[in-house]
Amino acid sequence: MECKLIRPQVIEEALAEREKYAEDGLPVAGGQSLLVMLHNKLIAPKALIDLERLKELQGISRKPDGFSIGAMTTFYTLLSSPEIKEAIPVLAQAAQKVSSTAIRNLGTIGGNLCHNELGADLPPALLTLNGEVELRSRSKSRKLPLVEFFRGFFETALEPDEILCRVEIPKLPAGARGVYLKHAISPEDMAMVGVAVTVIPDGKRVRGVEEVRIALGGVAAVPFRAKKAEAALKESVIDEQALRAAGELAAAEAEPMTDPHATADYRRKMIKVFVRRAICAALDQAEGR
């Protein structure tokens, strides 16, 4: 079947084509995952809507209340941005751990989120930053928290006539620090276990925290916040007992699978290890160690 390539110049044109073709017209961001799916005949769209020329979907904007990142912003742009590295380094860390140099140069934040592949690196980091996405169609624009955007394996809340345009990240509280750790067979693989942690210290007690945000990837159908583990650490002092309890709770919240790379039990054990490590590393940063 013939597949038409459409290269809109402005977002309004792209949205019109998206509405026209709906599920038969797929947006192209970085394109790497899409090309693999096309090659393996997993999808057969009638049209591909190339978003590369849309200036509205590119770049990083810093605002008083946080950051707005265009969906076509590449991993390389994220990891090399001085503002991102200074204000929200956990996102730069996650972008740095994405696959290979070639993928980081071409892959985009919007494409990564919409593809929603198991073990992707950016989602856990963005979840701990309370990120949300701006979704647009010809008739409306809406913002959706990322915790509601991911729905299932390779499934999101994106409607057939919508395009993910921007990712919004609210300003972090003073003193907050974040860490992303990835456990994979090789650095270029998807995360077998991905753990992002953002710590908000209370500023009064040694190892004292107001809040600890914990997000996991690669260990359930979708990346998620480990709410029970977070609740156990809220307004507490982080000691070895608290770390072990948080790791146990986070592992219990996961629903990992067994595959050729690792068993579900192994993934649960690694959650406990990497949750403890990530919290300690974020706390050390927050306390200047």
Q: Across residues 187-204, what is the average pLDDT?
A: 95
Q: Are residues 82 and 116 both part of a single domain?
A: yes
| Exposure string for 45-73, b = 16+ CB within 10 A, e = fewer | bebbbebeebebbbebeeeeebbbbbbbb
Judgement on whether residues 14 and 97 belong to the same structural domain of the protein: no
The average pLDDT across 194-219 equals 96
- Same domain? For 206 and 258 the reply is yes
Instruction: Give me the helices (H) in 23-145, please.
Output: 32-39, 75-80, 82-87, 89-96, 101-106, 109-115, 122-128
Q: Are residues 123 and 95 in the same domain?
A: yes
Count how many domains the chain has.
Answer: 3
- My answer on whether 16 and 101 are in the same domain is no
Q: How far apart (Å, rounded) are the C-alpha atoms in residues 53 and 133? A: 20
pLDDT at 39 over 90: no
The per-residue pLDDT for range 81-136, each reduced to its tens digit, is: 999 999 999 999 999 999 999 999 999 999 999 999 999 999 999 999 999 999 99
Q: E-assigned strands of 7-78? A: 25-28, 47-50, 60-63, 66-70
Check whether residue 39 and residue 83 sit in a common domain: no
Domain match, 64 and 166 both = yes
Q: How far apart are CA 258 and CA 6, in angstroms?
A: 40
Q: What is the pLDDT of residue 288?
A: 83
Per-residue pLDDT at 287 exceeds 80: yes
Helix (H, G, I), strand (E, B) or coil at 131: coil
Task: Tell me the CATH number at 206.
Answer: 3.30.390.50
Mark which of 117, 140, 170 sits at the end of a domain: 170
Q: Are residues 272 and 228 in the same domain?
A: yes
| Domain's final residue, options 149, 170, 191 | 170
- Predicted local confidence at residue 30, as pLDDT: 87
What was the pLDDT predicted at 31? 86
Q: What is the pLDDT of residue 32?
A: 81
Tokens of 223: 């990346």
Task: Clarify whether residues 114 and 165 are in a common domain.
Answer: yes
- Mean of the per-residue pLDDT values of the chain: 96
Q: Residue 101 is part of a domain; what is its CATH number?
A: 3.30.465.10
- pLDDT of res. 44: 93
37 and 92 fall within a common domain: no
Do residues 184 and 99 lie in contact, with contact meaning Cβ atoms separated by under 8 Å? Answer: no
CATH number, domain at 27? 3.30.43.10
Task: Give first-to-last CA distance, the chain, whole Å.
Answer: 59
Q: Which two tokens stand for residue 131?
A: 């990120």
Do both 76 and 156 map to the same domain? yes
Greatest extent of the chain over all pairs of C-alpha atoms, in Å: 65
What is the extent of the structural domain holding 14?
4-50
> Across residues 73-88, what is the average pLDDT?
97
Q: Same domain, yes or no, for 36 and 118?
A: no
Which has more confidence, 13 or 31?
13
Identify the domain boundary among 170, 191, 210.
170
pLDDT at 1: 62
CA–CA gap between residue 195 and residue 115 (Å, rounded)? 19
For the whole model, what pTM was predicted? 0.96
